[in-house]
């Protein structure tokens, strides 16, 4: 019955669930320690401060998303964009969805120079570059500005999935993408 995952893994798993579901400031270290069945000294051995854990939590979500995207089947560039955004719509419509973890984390960390914000910045640069890559490969006539628009679509889908009727979102993902890619296809 003993949990055999190493302590650091248990901490990150617990933090991943609690931070996402309840918010970062709302979840105290004591609770993470209790629910991951770890000694306090062990926790502070792996993460010298709560901020370090938060940064690791955000980074892990980034890794997961990058792995998921790398696992998509290889298709034509425009098809890839459709795959990515359709997937996003599905995730946004799933019942466990509580918004984009990066947008939510940023809302709790207003200082743009905070380590957590820097991690988020890197993620956003990566995502934007990916959009630009597919658009350029597809010989889109206006790849830079269109990449900006797809970034807006990404954020809008994430927020809408959290605050509006998520089912309605999946219905408009394709339309949104087609209209923003106007002229191509």
Partner DNA sequence: CCGACACTAGACAGACCTGTCTGGTACTGT
Partner DNA sequence: ACAGTACCAGACAGGTCTGTCTAGTGTCGG
**Residues at the contact surface with DNA, assessed by CB under 7 A:** 6-8, 27-31, 37-42, 44-46, 48-51
Minimum distance from residue 24 beta carbon to DNA (Å): 8
Half-sphere exposure of 52 (CA within 13 A, CB side): 9
Nearer to DNA, 6 or 112 (CB): 6
Among 5, 9, 25, 75, binds a second copy (CB under 8 A): 25
Question: Residue 100 and residue 92: Cα distance in Å, rounded?
Answer: 9
Nearer to DNA, 25 or 145 (CB): 25
Minimum distance from residue 47 beta carbon to DNA (Å): 8
Among 45, 75, 122, 145, binds a second copy (CB under 8 A): 145
From the list 50, 168, 58, the residue with the least C-alpha distance to 104 is 58
From the list 118, 107, 102, 95, the residue with the least C-alpha distance to 151 is 102
For residues 115 and 51, the answer to whether their CB atoms sit within 8 Å is yes
Question: Residue 155 and residue 151: Cα distance in Å, rounded?
Answer: 6
Nearer to a second copy, 113 or 163 (CB): 163
Among 75, 98, 122, 139, binds a second copy (CB under 8 A): 98
């Amino acid at each position: 019955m003993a949990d055999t995952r190493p302590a650091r893994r248990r901490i990150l798993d617990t933090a991943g669930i609690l931070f996402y579901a309840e918010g970062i400031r709302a979840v105290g270290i004591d609770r993470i320690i209790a629910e991951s069945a770890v000694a306090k000294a062990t926790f502070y051995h792996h993460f010298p401060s709560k901020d370090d854990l938060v940064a690791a939590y955000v980074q892990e979500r980034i890794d997961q998303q990058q792995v998921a995207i790398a696992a998509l089947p290889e298709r034509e560039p425009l098809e890839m964009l459709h795959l990515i955004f359709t997937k996003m719509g599905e995730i946004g419509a799933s019942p466990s969805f509580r918004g984009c973890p990066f947008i939510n984390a940023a809302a709790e960390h207003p200082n743009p120079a905070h380590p957590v914000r820097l991690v988020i910045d890197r993620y956003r640069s990566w995502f934007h570059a990916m959009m630009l890559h597919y658009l350029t490969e597809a010989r889109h006539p206006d790849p830079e500005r269109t990449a900006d628009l797809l970034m807006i679509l990404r954020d809008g889908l994430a927020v809408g999935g959290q605050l509006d009727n998520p089912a309605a979102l999946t219905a408009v993902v394709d339309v949104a993408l087609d209209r923003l890619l106007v002229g191509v296809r």
